[in-house]
Amino acid sequence: MSGYTIGEIVVWLLLTAVLAFALGWMTRELLLRRRTGATADTSVVVPAVEPDPEEEPEPAPEPEPVVTPGPHPGSALPLPGGAAPSAAHVVKVSRGSKIYHAPSSPAYARTTAALWFTDARAAEDAGFRKPKNG
């Protein structure tokens, strides 16, 4: 067993922690002074050089959405995010199920449009069917 008591060990640990803190603080200060160009002489103050503020370019105006025609008459591809390409396109088509959904359909809100049609007749002419529950 060692000849040190618990109290002596605690004192040594505290002194080590204080020394480590002081060395870390001094190292940080030296690095900051080197970065900013400050000298050890506190009577001489070297101002830090600030970069010129850059002017932000004006944002480009957003282009009008372009209606990309779909593969069928009266159809159009959705905008990014699945939104309708125009106010005239109100019928959503789910390609995986070959079902179209008019605004009156119960599943209209939860359907992600793969294709939009102007009316139900155009969707039926393209080979899509009306949902069984709507």
Whole-model pTM: value is 0.48
Tell whether 59 is covered by a domain. no
| Same domain (yes/no): 79, 37 | no
Overall average pLDDT of the 58-74 stretch: 68
Tell whether 52 is covered by a domain. no
Tell whether 27 is covered by a domain. yes
pLDDT at 24: 95
Residues in contact with 33: Cβ distance below 8 Å, sequence separation at least 6, in sequence order: 39, 40
Tell whether 84 is covered by a domain. yes
Question: Between β-strands 91-94 and 75-76, what pairing exists: parallel, antiparallel or unpaired?
Answer: unpaired
Overall average pLDDT of the 76-93 stretch: 82
Q: Domain range for residue 32?
A: 1-45
Tell whether 17 is covered by a domain. yes
Which one has a higher pLDDT value, 81 or 20? 20
Tell whether 31 is covered by a domain. yes
Overall average pLDDT of the 99-122 stretch: 85
Tell whether 67 is covered by a domain. no
Which one has a higher pLDDT value, 91 or 76? 91
Number of domains in the chain: 2
State the Cα–Cα distance between residues 134 and 106, nearest whole angstrom: 7
Give 78's pLDDT tier (boundaries 50, 70, 90): confident
Tell whether 134 is covered by a domain. no
With a cut of 70, say whether residue 39 has pLDDT above it.
no
| Same domain (yes/no): 79, 38 | no
Give 19's pLDDT tier (boundaries 50, 70, 90): very high
SS3 10: helix
